[in-house]
Structure 1
Amino acid sequence: MEILRYAAFSADPAGGNPAGVVLDATGLSDAEMQRLAAEVGYSETAFLVPDGDGHFKVRYFSPKAEVPFCGHATIASAAAYAERHGPRILHLETRAGLVEVSTKMHADGTTTATLISVEPRTKPVSASDLAALLEALRWTSGDLDATLPPRIAFAGAWHPIVAAASRQRLANLDYNMAALASLMAQRGWTTINLVHRESALVFHARNPFPPGGVVEDPATGAAAAALGGYLRELGLVTPPATVTVHQGQDMGRPSLLTVNIPAQPRTGIAVTGAAVALT
């Protein structure tokens, strides 16, 4: 068994979100996968079990717990597979549902991958949950962008989407980790997707991730897909639309996520990014 290490959503090893990848995890127990993910120490490690003709069963583990779906580890897994076996469409049976991911190998040596999420959806966030979330973040209602209402969004995992009125508010991330971790555990939230809208189709994002044992995720593909579904469902973009998400700059690991939002309602969101091997 080989544990590969890739940074997703960047062509530069100094950027993006590192992920562990095991392309053949056949026979590994849940406890063994959890132990290996903790040893790797990245926010997630993907464990793939081949199921024939480009089909895989996939499990994702953070250092502390299993998550139903992880976008950056999916991008990393597809790139790792393509660099060993050639680009093709992979069909990944995740705990959140079937995710299709394709890869391209470019003339400059860059490998990119595009995942198609499960059907996205959103639901309201209660006033009490929003108050508790803002308190844990050490934000106030005055920090919010009124044009982007808070929602709980899903495209494989649940993420509250909370929009900051200014880039400065987003840059100043100093939250109560214990309080946020407790709230997220109670509600089943994977990360908190904090965003700022720079322009109609350009966003900046930060994703606190205390359930995974890390302060912040430098690139969160599942949250980007959830954001795409949120924007379409609430009529905040005119689909088909391509949204650019910048993440990781404030923590020194710049990442670039491209989110393609189809016009058809209830269809999956496409999230594209580069991936590069880490030595």
Structure 2
Amino acid sequence: MDTRRTLLVDAFTTEPTAGNAAGVVPDADGLSAEQMQAIARELAVSETAFLQSSGSADRRVRYFTPTQEVALCGHATIASHAHLHEDGVIERGTHTLETNVGVLEIEIGEDDRVWMTQDQPTVRQVDLDWAEVGDALGIDPAAFRDVAADVPPAVASTGMAFLLVPVNFLEHLGNADPDFAAIEALAEAHDAVGVYAFTFDALGADSTLHGRCFVPGAGVPEDPVTGTASGACGAYLRHVGAFDDLPDEMTFEQGHFVDRPGVVSVRVGDEVRVGGRAVTTLEGSMVIPEFDDDEIIEA
């Protein structure tokens, strides 16, 4: 009977049961895709990171939601490397990580924040029907029109594409009543994995913005704190000239409206980097299921 060490690590926070919980399997060598998917489904958090040996980097990672494999995941990357550092496996400094979008650099800083260098950004502005967006997010369309002239909607990616939608006030963003089927259709119509709605009307005095991220098409109705969307949004803010002088480091709040508050640090220069801390909240071992070929039913 094969068992593997399995953890839940809360990313973008130092408080247990806050931020975004990620599953982490530190030794996933030899596991099949079906086994990894079954483990992710059992852990039932937005993403689980499976760390494996790599011939081109310090280690390889594969990310699974409860329903499918995804190419990149910010919070599971932060969570897994924070745990490796806490466990004494890696030291402060720069490490390389093979992902499905290429080899990325991960840095453990002197303050123990984990920094993830994301893929090269792409940003394309899009025209939206604000009534359709309002129906999908459950927000009065006027809340978008107020700010869209200065920060127009766009699809941005630093490894995963998100439809970025500005909202005028936190009250409107916080009172959103999302229609997840409509959000999935809206994202698909713009070749995005999900929708990231944000407002500059943040809770914290030092925060740049407050965001909410909806990814129902990947089995994650609302993601508490999203590193990939934060990186994409940082690149987008530079692209649209949202600030006269882009801050060297931005602070994005997220998760407060699902009782999982967290903070993502974002730096946009020659590269886009997202950073944060993490805390291990659960550790144990999982019995690995065995699959025969005739047990796997194609959907």
TM-score by length of 2: 0.83
Instruction: Give secondary structure in 2 for the equivalent of 1:69.
Output: coil
Please tell me whether the aligned partners of residues 252 and 263 of structure 2 are also in contact (alpha carbons under 8 angstroms). Answer: yes
Partner AA of 1:234 in structure 2: V
Q: Tell me the residue number matched to 2:297.
A: none
Query: How do 1:8-157 residues align onto structure 2 when only pairs under 5 Å count?
Result: 8-51=11-54, 55-84=58-87, 85-87=89-91, 88-104=93-109, 106=111, 111-127=112-128, 132-144=132-144, 145-146=147-148, 147-157=150-160
How many percent identity over aligned positions?
Answer: 34
- The CA deviation at 1:198 is 2.9
| Residue 204 in structure 1 maps to residue 207 in structure 2 | no
Instruction: Give secondary structure in 1 for the equivalent of 2:178.
Output: coil
Please tell me whether the aligned partners of residues 167 and 173 of structure 2 are also in contact (alpha carbons under 8 angstroms). Answer: yes
Instruction: Give secondary structure in 1 for the equivalent of 2:187.
Output: helix
Which blocks of at least 5 consecutive residues in structure 1 are unaligned? none
Distance 2:132 2:65 in 1: 25
Distance 1:192 1:156 in 2: 15
- The CA deviation at 1:37 is 0.6
What do you get for the CA RMSD once the two structures are aligned? Answer: 2.1
For each residue in 1:108-127, what CA deviation from the matched residue of structure 2 results, as whole angstroms up to 9, or x when unmatched?
A: xxx42111111111112244
Instruction: Give secondary structure in 1 for the equivalent of 2:252.
Output: strand
Q: Tell me the residue number matched to 1:234.
A: 240
- The CA deviation at 1:210 is 1.1
Please tell me whether the aligned partners of residues 54 and 89 of structure 1 are also in contact (alpha carbons under 8 angstroms). Answer: no
| Residue 248 in structure 1 maps to residue 255 in structure 2 | yes
Query: How do 1:168-247 residues align onto structure 2 when only pairs under 5 Å count?
Result: 168-185=171-188, 187-198=190-201, 202-237=208-243, 238-239=245-246, 241-247=248-254
Please tell me whether the aligned partners of residues 45 and 62 of structure 1 are also in contact (alpha carbons under 8 angstroms). Answer: yes
Q: Tell me the residue number matched to 1:260.
A: 267
Which blocks of at least 5 consecutive residues in structure 2 are unaligned? 283-299
Larger Rg: 2
- The CA deviation at 1:187 is 4.5
Q: Which of 9-18 and 195-204 deviates more?
A: 195-204
Distance 1:30 1:185 in 2: 25
Please tell me whether the aligned partners of residues 234 and 268 of structure 2 are also in contact (alpha carbons under 8 angstroms). Answer: yes
Please tell me whether the aligned partners of residues 154 and 165 of structure 2 are also in contact (alpha carbons under 8 angstroms). Answer: yes
Distance 2:101 2:127 in 1: 24
Given the superposition, is the C-alpha separation of residues 14 and 255 from structure 1 closer, same or farther in structure 2, using an over 3 Å criterion? Answer: same
Partner AA of 2:125 in structure 1: P
Please tell me whether the aligned partners of residues 64 and 211 of structure 1 are also in contact (alpha carbons under 8 angstroms). Answer: no
Distance 2:238 2:73 in 1: 21
Please tell me whether the aligned partners of residues 163 and 190 of structure 2 are also in contact (alpha carbons under 8 angstroms). Answer: no
For each residue in 1:218-258, what CA deviation from the matched residue of structure 2 results, as whole angstroms up to 9, or x when unmatched?
A: 11000010011101112223246211111111111110111
Q: Tell me the residue number matched to 2:167.
A: 164
Given the superposition, is the C-alpha separation of residues 126 and 157 from structure 1 closer, same or farther in structure 2, using an over 3 Å criterion? Answer: same
Instruction: Give secondary structure in 2 for the equivalent of 1:198.
Output: coil
Partner AA of 1:189 in structure 2: A
- The CA deviation at 1:193 is 0.9
Q: Which of 51-60 and 6-15 deviates more?
A: 51-60
- The CA deviation at 1:76 is 0.4
Q: How many residues align?
A: 270
